[in-house]
A and B are shown apart, each in its own frame.
Chain A
Amino acid sequence: MNLELSPEDLAFRDELREFFAGAVRPEYRTAIRAGLRPTPQQLTEWQATLAERGWGAPTWPKEYGGTGWTPTQLYIFETEAARADAPIQFHQGLELIGPIIFTFGTDDQKERYLPRIISGEDWWCQGYSEPGAGSDLAALSTRAVRDGDHYVINGQKMWTSYAHVASHMFCLVRTSKEERRQQGISLILVDMNTPGIKIRPVETLDEKHHTNEVFLDDVRVPVSNLLGEEGKGWGYGKVLLDRERAVGASTALRLRSQVDAIYSAARRIPFGGATLADTPAVATQLAQLEIEALTIETMVMRLMADAAAGVDSGPRASMLKLRWSETLQKVTELWTEVLGYDAAVFEDLSGEGVPEDMPLALQGALYARVTSIYGGSSEIQRNIIARRSLGL
């Protein structure tokens, strides 16, 4: 057993470190440490920067334009990205639909879509949840009816993150009524410019527009946009959800620098002749959170080892997602707490300027509430572990 990196891995790490040092824009740093995404425009720029270097799709095999990296290399990449406070690549194209396209898609679909995911030219959103189908996704009722060479889609999607900037949506729809609810569901790729699509923003508590309702009214999509086989979409969907959890690896490695951000804040705030960081209450909470971050980092290493060994990493990924989201919530809450009255300054109305970490720390804390809900809520993750790993 060892944690040591081979000379090749060390050289690779240095190469990454040098790249990130030159490529990462420091102005996103506080937002990233607050667990917030940079703007879609900034994310698209970042994707293009990585693509130019040949690193646009770190988890993909080489034949589809990916890096073909080993799990260890991927771990090093994510560790260095975290160390440099680089933006986290937007995952819905790269990690969710991309792998489904290269696994189940036609040659035409692969040629059309994959390169534009890597370059950042296309932005994909996920048309899964509906008003009546949240955790119980199989209850979805959006219908696609075959009409000649087209499917005609009618229904409503909910909590569609970034639909307002997306060029495409991968959408779970019902193509037939079967005995089992999971049957008769298909996965269809939809161009967001197709007539009949209406997007309404969902305003959220963090005042950051990231999610939407999507109304589909007689949306005509060519039959060639069906992914895989008709009626088999649920199976692909499940593979997707597994990958969505694996995305946890990239986010979970950020926790340590997020804790560092609170240390910095606590150290600059004077308290009782010293700083807030020196008070036992704050120091103990920070220590606890740093230990959680170190633990979670090591869980990521174990997840990567599973991936390398070809073991079912689903339950461990669910554990990671659970612990990461809970810890991120605690981190951003403590950050807000440490800021004291500064946390009241959410928007500057007088032109005086806002304190350094605000409104991002509080926005991060409020945004973090959704992390234990999206991608399968904490309760759903526990159900998955109980069923798949414990046989309950």
Chain B
Amino acid sequence: MNLDLTEDQSMLADSIERFGTERWPAADRWRLLREAGAKGVPELWGEIAELGWLMIPFAEEQGGLGGSFDDAMVLASGIGKHLLPVPVSTNAVLVAPLLKDCPAEFLEDVMTGKVRVALALGDGDSRFDHLNVATTAERTGAGYTLNGVKNFVADGGDADHFIVPARTSGSGAELEGISLFLLSRESDGLTVETYRSIDNHRHCRLRLSGAETGSARLLGEEGKGGLPLGMAVKGGVLAQCAEAVGAMDALCNLTLEYLKTRSQFGQPIGTFQSLQHRMVDMFIAYEEAYSITVRATLEAKEGVMDRGRMASAAKAKVGQTSLFVARQAIQLHGGIGTSDESVVSHYLRRLTMLDMALGNASHHLQRFAAIA
């Protein structure tokens, strides 16, 4: 039993810390984010690819750095801490295991940031139940024709390809019969509606009406995509938990700093006990979120088969505690915390979206209860 980061992981954490501090400094972040606006900061994706970070979630056989859950945790947590607007959790961690059989050149393009892939979620009315797939795939000629709606393609706004779960057989939330397709953004019969979320991430909705795909675009075996999809979502859930934990870390520390420097009634506001106790509760929430995330991450790494129960525990707990921390941080900052100028407000926007993505706390609590 060892909960310390390995030497490699510490080095990775340091390198993200440097990048975050230099390239995306806290004092300028609000301005950078505002300037970026709806177009986002696409150049950052190439920069982090150059640092090799996009290789982390891919297995060694794929030319990646191993794809271990705890490495991804370190990566995502650093990104969350610096509020880096790079969708690593979704465009790398979430999709990596699903691309394992893709040609080497394609994988290289993904890992070097030339090509972006996003996973299409939010099928029809399924809300957060990712295995509840109504989109259909019918064999037509050499390939398949897809019909359906995907409401939430996580960070799909700038993606070149989409992984689309569709039914080749079965119905409802049956595991059997889900197939995964890799679909180019340019496919015929595919309409992409891009939108921006409050954290300035760029997602999209896919409307598939007779979208065509060649047979080579089937990922894995026909009808056997349910299990890998569930596993991939689990990895994505864990990475998003880590990202939120990194954000909580930053929020706790910058709020503590504010309590020590902001004066009212002739003294630092951190001398008031009611504020001290709130601050302590924020740090406890962080400790809880960190603990359950590490636990779920390491159990996943060690192959504990629990149908994602521990990952759901983490997602629920992290959702609750991270929003608590972000809301408290604003309260302790007072009016300035609500302003666009304060990075605190950006953290709440991001954490609100992180809680929602891949299922919010309430969904994962129900899921945890259902697996019991």
CB distance A1 to B9 under 8 Å?
yes
Q: How far is the CA of A9 from the CA of B2 in the complex (A)?
A: 13
CB distance A386 to B277 under 8 Å?
yes
Whose C-beta in chain A lies nearest to the C-beta of B282? Answer: A390
User: Which of the 9-residue segments B178-186, B210-218, B288-296, B341-349 touches chain A?
Assistant: B288-296
Whose C-beta in chain A lies nearest to the C-beta of B310? Answer: A294
CB distance B277 to A382 under 8 Å?
yes
User: Which of the 9-residue segments A82-90, A197-205, A284-292 touches chain B?
Assistant: A284-292
What residues of chain A lie closer than 8 Å to B281, measured between beta carbons? 382
Can you list, as one digit per residue, whether each of A80-116 has a CB less than 8 Å from chain B (1) or not (0)? 0000000000000000000000000000000000000
With A3-B299, A323-B284 as known contacts, state yes or no: A392 contacts B271, CB within 8 Å: yes
Say yes or no for B372: interface residue by CB 8 A criterion: yes
Q: How far is the CA of A118 from the CA of B153 in the complex (A)?
A: 62
Say yes or no for A162: interface residue by CB 8 A criterion: no
CB distance B292 to A1 under 8 Å?
no
Q: How far is the CA of A3 from the CA of B1 in the complex (A)?
A: 4
Say yes or no for B58: interface residue by CB 8 A criterion: no
What residues of chain B lie closer than 8 Å to A322, measured between beta carbons? 284
* Interface residue tally on B, bucketed by range: 35 or more
B368 touches which one: A75, A287, A379, A385 (CB < 8 A)? Answer: A287
Say yes or no for B336: interface residue by CB 8 A criterion: no
Q: How far is the CA of A228 from the CA of B162 in the complex (A)?
A: 71
Task: Give the distance to chain A from B321, nearest Cβ to Cβ, in Å.
Answer: 9
Task: Give the distance to chain A from B280, nearest Cβ to Cβ, in Å.
Answer: 4
Task: Give the distance to chain B from A306, nearest Cβ to Cβ, in Å.
Answer: 10
Task: Give the distance to chain A from B283, nearest Cβ to Cβ, in Å.
Answer: 7
What residues of chain B lie closer than 8 Å to A288, measured between beta carbons? 316, 365
What residues of chain B lie closer than 8 Å to A11, measured between beta carbons? none
Residue from B260, B276, B284, B299 with most neighbouring chain A CB atoms (10 Å): B284
With A3-B298, A287-B369 as known contacts, state yes or no: A390 contacts B256, CB within 8 Å: yes
Say yes or no for A165: interface residue by CB 8 A criterion: no
CB distance A389 to B1 under 8 Å?
no
CB distance B70 to A1 under 8 Å?
yes
Can you list, as one digit per residue, whether each of A298-341 has a CB less than 8 Å from chain B (1) or not (0)? 11011001000000000010010011000000000000000000
Say yes or no for A72: interface residue by CB 8 A criterion: yes
Residue from B1, B270, B284, B291 with most neighbouring chain A CB atoms (10 Å): B1
What residues of chain B lie closer than 8 Å to A301, measured between beta carbons? 1, 3, 291, 295
CB distance B365 to A291 under 8 Å?
yes
Can you list, as one digit per residue, whether each of B1-22 has a CB less than 8 Å from chain A (1) or not (0)? 1111110010000000000000
Whose C-beta in chain B lies nearest to the C-beta of A5? Answer: B1
Residue from A75, A323, A385 with most neighbouring chain B CB atoms (10 Å): A385
Say yes or no for B302: interface residue by CB 8 A criterion: yes
Whose C-beta in chain B lies nearest to the C-beta of A288? Answer: B365
Q: How far is the CA of A259 from the CA of B126 in the complex (A)?
A: 31
What residues of chain B lie closer than 8 Å to A3, measured between beta carbons? 1, 295, 298-299, 302
- A residues within 8 Å of B by Cβ? 1-5, 9, 72, 75, 263, 280, 283-284, 286-288, 290-292, 294-295, 297-299, 301-302, 305, 316, 319, 322-323, 379, 382-383, 385-386, 389-392
- B residues within 8 Å of A by Cβ? 1-6, 9, 70, 256, 259-260, 270-271, 273, 276-277, 279-281, 283-284, 287-288, 291-292, 294-295, 298-299, 301-302, 310, 313, 316-317, 365-366, 368-369, 372
